[in-house]
Amino acid sequence: MSYQLNSLFERKAAETTGDVTGSIGPAQPAVAVQAVPEADSALRAAASELLRRNEANTSLPWENPKTGARGTVTPIAAAYSQAGRTCRDFLASYIRAGSESWLQGEACQSREGYWEVRSLKPWTRS
């Protein structure tokens, strides 16, 4: 088997210029956190439902057909007390248009016993 030397250099040049020569397109950037709606009701509902169940080592999938977004919600810490309310932190994946981001949230129980998501922010590894 033999190759023309210039064909190898042409391929390398295409790779370094960002030209797409195969069937796989360039990698999609992560979803910008600003694109994640703070009030995504499907994500918030899944977090509330998961925490209400109080099951150990469980994740719950969520999907919003209106936006095409989906993901999972997973508790990441034990319950704690804050201002007299029981609260929990959770991690949520947010997948939309082939891109994925991670959000960290906090939910606390209301006086009526419902879990309310109080915050959602970009998750950063420590």
Residue spans per domain, the chain: 28-122
**Residues 101, 94: contact at Cβ < 8 Å?**
yes
What is this structure's pTM? 0.68
Residue in 122, 53, 55, 54 with CA at minimum distance from that of residue 91: 122
Q: What is the pLDDT of residues 25-57, one digit of tens each?
A: 444 444 444 445 555 889 999 999 999 998 888
Residue 41 to residue 73: CA distance in whole angstroms: 13
Give the three-class secondary structure for 35. helix
Q: How many whole angstroms separate alpha carbon 117 and alpha carbon 51?
A: 10
**pLDDT greater than 70 at residue 126:** no
